[in-house]
Amino acid sequence: MQNPYLPYPVRIEEIITETEDKNLKTFKLVFLNPDDENKFNYNAGQFAELSIAGKGEIPIGIASSPTEKGFLMFTVNKVGLVTSHLHNMKPGDIMGVRGPLGNWYPWDIMEGKNVIIIGGGFAFTTLRSSIIYMLDPANRPKYKDIHVIYGARTPGMLLYRDELSEWEKRDDIHMHITVDATDDPNWKYNVGFVPTITDQKAPSGNTDTYAIVCGPPIMIKFTQPVLDKLDYAHDHIIMSLEMRMKCGIGICGRCNIGKEFVCKDGPVFTLDQLNSMPKEY
């Protein structure tokens, strides 16, 4: 019997400090046993448990795309015991990864459709995975228009800045980067909160258009009325939730919302599904 609690050993290959407050770092991890990489077969939108011996585990969305081979990437905010320890680790250190866990954005259903990605702050990680996945030459023809609305407090708080500017240059993806405020005279993108920019830039909803929304609760709260105004049906609005987790496989019992476990039945839910669940997240 395979032990679903046993992490795959990995080595930290590279650590990138993403944001000006240094609270977000991206960890590039390489499997110690090459076979494990084949077993770790994931889709954009899934998460994994990062495991540090002696400290514990944390559930983190996978920021790399399944189309990127040879490594996994996670961007981690420093908040608790495990994440603080992780932030002090160095390339070459050994840790563990357990997964892939949870469901993913409905790539099969979205095939042939427009995809609007709306993200805020450090919740952009699985959205990066999604963008890389869709922009892969093998996948790009499967999706129609792609819009990305991504906001952070300041330019220095945006994740993956190099990639964002690469994507800005492309004509097969419409980028709408925004910051809450900036005094940078060279800032050439939008200024304003994500809901406002969504109102201005997002295409109207229709049966051929899906919105993936991922961000802090406050952003989600104010973006939802905008999407309603733009006529997005609630089964076309896709969200990813966060919850305290331990096992990640629907057994330990803490991350439920109603009868659904966020770790196993989620973290991705349509707004339609969330409407029928208790408001307890």
Residues near another protein, by CB under 8 A: 1-7, 9, 32, 51-58, 79-81, 83-84, 93-96, 242-244, 246-247, 249-259, 264, 276-278, 280-281
Pairing state between β 174-179 and 190-191: parallel
Taking the complex as a whole, how short is the minimal distance between the CB of residue 125 and another protein, in angstroms?
A: 15
Looking at the Cβ atoms of 94 and 181, the one nearer to another protein is 94
Looking at the Cβ atoms of 17 and 84, the one nearer to another protein is 84
Which residue, among 77, 83, 25, has the nearest Cα to 51 in the 3D structure? 83
Looking at the Cβ atoms of 77 and 182, the one nearer to another protein is 77
**CA distance linking residue 156 with residue 179, whole number of Å:** 9
Looking at the Cβ atoms of 199 and 260, the one nearer to another protein is 260
Q: Which two three-digit tokens encode residue 86?
A: 């992780």
Taking the complex as a whole, how short is the minimal distance between the CB of residue 223 and another protein, in angstroms?
A: 19
Q: Which two three-digit tokens encode residue 6?
A: 């046993």
Looking at the Cβ atoms of 191 and 243, the one nearer to another protein is 243
Residue 5 CB contacts under 8 Å (≥ 6 apart), including other chains: 98, 247
Q: Which two three-digit tokens encode residue 23?
A: 């609270």
Residue 158 CB contacts under 8 Å (≥ 6 apart), including other chains: 19, 150, 152, 164, 177, 179
Looking at the Cβ atoms of 81 and 109, the one nearer to another protein is 81
Taking the complex as a whole, how short is the minimal distance between the CB of residue 122 and another protein, in angstroms?
A: 11
**CA distance linking residue 198 with residue 231, whole number of Å:** 13
Residue 57, H or E segment: strand 56-61
Taking the complex as a whole, how short is the minimal distance between the CB of residue 242 and another protein, in angstroms?
A: 7
Taking the complex as a whole, how short is the minimal distance between the CB of residue 3 and another protein, in angstroms?
A: 5
Looking at the Cβ atoms of 53 and 109, the one nearer to another protein is 53
Taking the complex as a whole, how short is the minimal distance between the CB of residue 67 and another protein, in angstroms?
A: 25
Looking at the Cβ atoms of 54 and 137, the one nearer to another protein is 54
3-state helix, strand, coil in the chain (%, to 5): 25, 30, 45
**CA distance linking residue 48 with residue 102, whole number of Å:** 8
Taking the complex as a whole, how short is the minimal distance between the CB of residue 262 and another protein, in angstroms?
A: 10
**CA distance linking residue 35 with residue 100, whole number of Å:** 15
- Helices and strands, counts by H and E, the chain: 8, 15
Which residue, among 152, 97, 99, has the nearest Cα to 127 in the 3D structure? 152
Q: Which two three-digit tokens encode residue 233?
A: 């049906």
Taking the complex as a whole, how short is the minimal distance between the CB of residue 264 and another protein, in angstroms?
A: 7
